[in-house]
């Protein structure tokens, strides 16, 4: 979130003094807005030049001036709320790369590798969920941030589960040549690459 829009959002609650803005900004930083407090006054100056905020006593310094949001500022805030967040695709997930590598390495129990990551992720989810469980249910800001983390982590666990299911379905076949495997460790990919584990899917068909 840009510091401009954080300040506009604070001013949308009502007019505020510069010092007050800085304090409220600081209080909410880390919780929702992990931003640099130092830039509060320079950003206010810029917002004023742009006509998004106005203040009365121009001779005082930023801390003592009272700011209010303008109609233009409200429009800018509304525009920002509706603009999709940065849509650059994330770099290839490191976990995906690790699992792709594990699939090709001989003597590696890939499902065990998947489980190591699954456990770590679930432990992290437990920390967030317990935080939520102990928190004041009215703490909306915390709930929103914690939920976002939980859904993100859950998606990774589900990806691991899907990978696990794929590996179960392909028991004796050699590992598939994986596209875009970084720095191929130049190993021959043969049936010996993946040890058949005792968890054979032979019973799969017999399941209800």
Partner 1 sequence: MSAVLSLRQVSKVYGAGNAAVHALRQVDLTVDGGELVAVMGPSGSGKSTLLTIAGSLEEPTDGEVLVCGDDVSTMSTDAQARMRRRAIGFVFQDLNLLAGLSAVENVALPLELDGVGARAARAAGMRVLEELGLAERAAAFPDDLSGGERQRVAIARAVVGDRRLLLADEPTGALDSANGEAVMRMLRAACKRGIAGVMVTHDAQLASWADRVVFLRDGRIVDQTASTGPDAMLAGDVAP
Ligand X SMILES: Nc1ncnc2c1ncn2[C@@H]1O[C@H](COP(=O)(O)OP(=O)(O)OP(=O)(O)O)[C@@H](O)[C@H]1O
Tell me which of 24, 54, 164, 193 binds partner 1, using CB under 8 A: 164
Classify 161 as helix, strand or coil.
Answer: helix
Tell me which of 19, 96, 150, 178 binds partner 1, using CB under 8 A: 150
Q: Which x/- pattern, by CB under 6 A, does the window 178-207 give for ligand X?
A: -----------------------------x
Query: H helices within 50-139, ranges in order?
Result: 71-82, 94-104, 110-134
Closest CA to 3 of 86, 84, 80: 80
Count the site residues for partner 1 by CB under 8 A. 30
- The Cα–Cα gap between 15 and 20 comes to 10
- The Cα–Cα gap between 7 and 97 comes to 40
- How far apart are CB 204 and ligand X at their closest, in Å? 9
- How far apart are CB 10 and partner 1 at their closest, in Å? 29
Q: Which does 130 bind (CB under 5 to 8 A by kind): partner 1, ligand X, none?
A: partner 1
- The Cα–Cα gap between 145 and 128 comes to 10
In the complex with partner 1, which residue's Cβ is closer, 92 or 158?
158
- How far apart are CB 18 and partner 1 at their closest, in Å? 40
Tell me which of 123, 139, 184, 195 binds partner 1, using CB under 8 A: 123
- How far apart are CB 2 and ligand X at their closest, in Å? 45
Using rule CB under 8 A, residue 158 touches partner 1: yes
In the complex with partner 1, which residue's Cβ is closer, 74 or 124?
124
Backbone dihedral angles phi then psi of residue 65, each to the nearest 5 degrees: -80, 150
- The Cα–Cα gap between 131 and 142 comes to 9
- Per the DSSP assignment, residues forming a β-bridge with 54 are 68
- The Cα–Cα gap between 80 and 85 comes to 9
- The Cα–Cα gap between 11 and 165 comes to 51
Residues at the contact surface with ligand X, assessed by CB under 6 A: 207-208
Residues lying near partner 1 in the complex (CB under 8 A) are found at 111, 115, 118-119, 121-123, 125-126, 128-130, 133, 150-151, 153-154, 157-158, 161, 164-165, 168, 198-199, 203-204, 206-208
């Amino acid at each position: 979130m840009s510091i401009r829009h954080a300040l506009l959002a604070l001013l949308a609650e009502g007019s505020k003094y510069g010092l007050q803005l800085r304090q409220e900004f600081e209080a909410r930083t880390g919780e929702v807005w992990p931003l640099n407090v130092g830039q509060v006054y320079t950003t206010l100056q810029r917002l004023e030049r742009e006509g998004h905020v106005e203040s009365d006593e121009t001779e005082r310094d930023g801390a003592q001036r009272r700011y209010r949001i303008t109609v233009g500022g409200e429009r800018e805030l509304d525009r920002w709320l509706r603009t999709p967040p940065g849509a650059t695709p994330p770099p290839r997930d490191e976990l995906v790369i690790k699992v792709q590598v594990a699939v090709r390495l001989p003597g590696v129990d890939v499902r065990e590798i998947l489980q190591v990551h699954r456990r770590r992720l679930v432990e992290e989810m437990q920390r967030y969920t317990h935080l939520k469980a102990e928190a004041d249910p009215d703490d909306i800001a915390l709930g929103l941030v914690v939920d976002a983390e939980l859904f993100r982590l859950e998606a990774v666990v589900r990806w691991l589960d899907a990978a696990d299911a794929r590996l179960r379905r392909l028991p004796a076949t050699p590992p598939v040549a994986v596209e875009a495997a970084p720095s191929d460790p130049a190993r021959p990919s043969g049936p010996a690459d993946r040890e058949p584990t005792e968890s054979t899917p032979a019973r799969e068909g017999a399941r209800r």
